Chain A
Amino acid sequence: GQNIDQPTEMTATEGAIVQINCTYQTSGFNGLFWYQQHAGEAPTFLSYNVLDGLEEKGRFSSFLSRSKGYSYLLLKELQMKDSASYLCAPRGKLQFGAGTQVVVTP
């Protein structure tokens, strides 16, 4: 997506932690979504941040800094089923990042 930057791919082992960063343009910003997309499937909602700080939801946490135009998704205690693409989507932009492919190895 335009003006939304995420790493292309990250590899980690089972049980590890991975942090996926996302930077975006701050104009017209009104919150940020993270979606998970398994290969060949539709994206599904993971989290929504509208205020600065960390939102924790089980093994997944999402952080937002509005002034820096920066967010990250933190995946803890990685499981094989977490292998998927993770998409960053600033609300109000109708755009998604190209996604970060996370590969979890045994």
Chain B
Amino acid sequence: SQTIHQWPATLVQPVGSPLSLECTVEGTSNPNLYWYRQAAGRGLQLLFYSVGIGQISSEVPQNLSASRPQDRQFILSSKKLLLSDSGFYLCAWSLTSGLANEQFFGPGTRLTVL
């Protein structure tokens, strides 16, 4: 069966510090991968998606970046965090037969920028 992992579960970082969140998927090959952010009490905002290794599409201009160094690994990064980067970050995967199939979400990382 497929599983998706994210770490860390929670993170508190000062403004201006770097960020690296990691997501890995097991039990499937060549998945579509997604990074979402959810601000408190708000909906999901798609940040990045990837249809293959090294292929990243950015949905929203910001100080975040994403990379996919391996088939089942998706990394969200920032060189300098802003207060507005606080939120609940969710990684998700779906089958490759077209974008936005049913998505399976990881447990999320709750980031607080102080």
Contacts and interface: CB of A to CB of B under 8 A. Distances in A.
Q: A and B: real partners?
A: yes
Interface of A: 1, 30, 33, 40-45, 48, 87, 89, 91-99
A42 B49 contact: no
Size bracket, chain B contacts: 20 to 34
A88 B21 CA distance: 26
B92 to A, nearest CB: 8
A77 B14 CA distance: 46
Interface of B: prevailing SS = loop
A26 B101 CA distance: 17
Contact of A98 (B34, B43, B59, B101): B43
Contacts of B108: 41-42
Given A42-B90, A42-B106, A94 B46 contact: yes
Interface string B77-114: 00000000000101000000011111111111010000
B43 A1 contact: yes
Contact of B44 (A1, A40, A44): A1
